Amino acid sequence: MEERLRILRKQIQALFEKTRDKDALESLRIKYLGRKGEINKLFKDIAQLPVEQKRTYGNKINQLKQDINQALKARLQKFQPKDKEKIDLLLPGKKPYIGHIHPLSKIFDELIMFFTNFGFSIATGPEIEYDWYNFKALNMPRDHPARDMFSSFYIKDDLLLRSHTSPVQIRVMENQKPPIKIMCPGRCYRYDAFDASHAPVFHQIEALYVDKGVSFGELKWLLSKFVKFLFGPKTKYLLRPSFFPFTEPSGELVISCAVCGGSGCSVCGNSGWLELGGCGMVHPQVLKNVKISTKEYSGYALGIGIERVAMIKYVIDDIRVFFNNDIRFLEQF
């Protein structure tokens, strides 16, 4: 037993001298002083010794345990920083970064200013939405194939993260009689891969106008003003036929490429045109769902992706840069 203690002491001393960091030292402490460590095993072996030897070797084991603890503390001191960092209060401070308005915030502000100038008021709604507002009231029953386009995040069977800001339009039309003239800015969620052109979290702004005698011609006129305001007077635009369950007829707004001016490049796929958003006349069934008379009233709606507008206006080819919080990117705006 005495020879065993002597060998163990030398072994521990050699291991302590080889340690180079706190983690290695902690591992040694657990190995020898832990509940299942080598020292506790020695105490268990005392039971096999004659009665006259138990007290002698018990004291020696306790002494070894104390020596190991002292060696641990001494070794730990070598890993502590010797001198604390000195601070010279007379030195000039570091100049902090100056904040910049995020490009998405700039686009939001410009769009809100545009629609406000044409008499639209801001309306908002919850980001966790019922299936009725997100789909059913917008002419998309549970088995409608158009739901696949939205790739929604469901919380439970009848509750989901809204996949567009159109539910706000339904909530307003349920509680307000025409005339209704609102814009709905906000954050949306879809189960999309986070790549150069898609993000699971994105921003939209929609506009809705419901009143007597509202026509598609008025919508086209508003879109022409919108394009010139946001992208400049030389920007061309087209309204292409499209399909959305909640509008009829439906259109897709495309503008001439800001990079090549419409001559064709890699950004626009050599077509000279870039998709901007969807629009159309509010579907009669949507008006019926919110108990608005289709004989007396009509309306138009349009939806624009904020990231899409920012990418076109500032010629950005990767949507992910909006979420990186990189000061080098933000300083450009």
Per-residue pLDDT of 151-169, as tens digits, reads: 899 999 899 999 999 999 9
Tokens of 142: 């549970």
What was the pLDDT predicted at 1?
A: 62
Q: What is the mean pLDDT of residues 104-118?
A: 94
pLDDT digit string, tens, across residues 283-302: 999 999 999 999 999 999 99
Q: DSSP H helical segments within 152-203, as ranges? A: 166-175
H-helix or E-strand spanning residue 105: helix 103-117
Q: Are 66 and 39 in contact (CB under 8 A)?
A: no
Mean pLDDT of 304-331: 87
Confidence check: pLDDT of 36 > 80: no
pLDDT of residue 232: 87
What is the DSSP code string of 40-69?
A: HHHHHHGGGS-HHHHHHHHHHHHHHHHHHH
pLDDT range class, residue 110, cuts 50, 70, 90: very high
- What is the residue extent of each domain of the chain? 2-77, 103-330
Calculate mean pLDDT across residues 105-117.
94
The pLDDT of residue 245 is 93
The structure's pTM equals 0.68
What is each CA distance from 267 to 88, 110, 253, in whole angstroms? 53, 24, 17
Beta bridge partners of 183: 122, 207
Pick the CATH number of 103-330 from 3.30.930.10, 3.40.50.300, 3.30.70.1430, 3.50.50.60: 3.30.930.10
Check pLDDT > 60 for residue 263.
yes
Instruction: Please tell me which residue, 313 or 15, carries the higher pLDDT value.
Output: 313
pLDDT greater than 90 at residue 125: yes
Evaluate whether 54 touches 18 at the Cβ level (below 8 Å). Answer: no
If you average pLDDT over every residue of the chain, what do you get?
85
pLDDT computed for residue 288 by the predictor: 96
The four Cα atoms 247, 221, 203, 108 give a dihedral, to 10 degrees, of -160
Backbone angles phi, psi at 315, to 5 degrees: 55, 60
Residue 83 has pLDDT above 80, yes or no: no
- Per 3-state DSSP, the chain is made up of helix, strand and coil in percentages (nearest 5) of 45, 20, 35
CA 204/CA 165 separation, integer angstroms: 7
Q: Which residue would you say has higher pLDDT here, 27 or 251?
A: 251
| Weakest mean pLDDT among 164-178, 207-221, 251-265 | 251-265
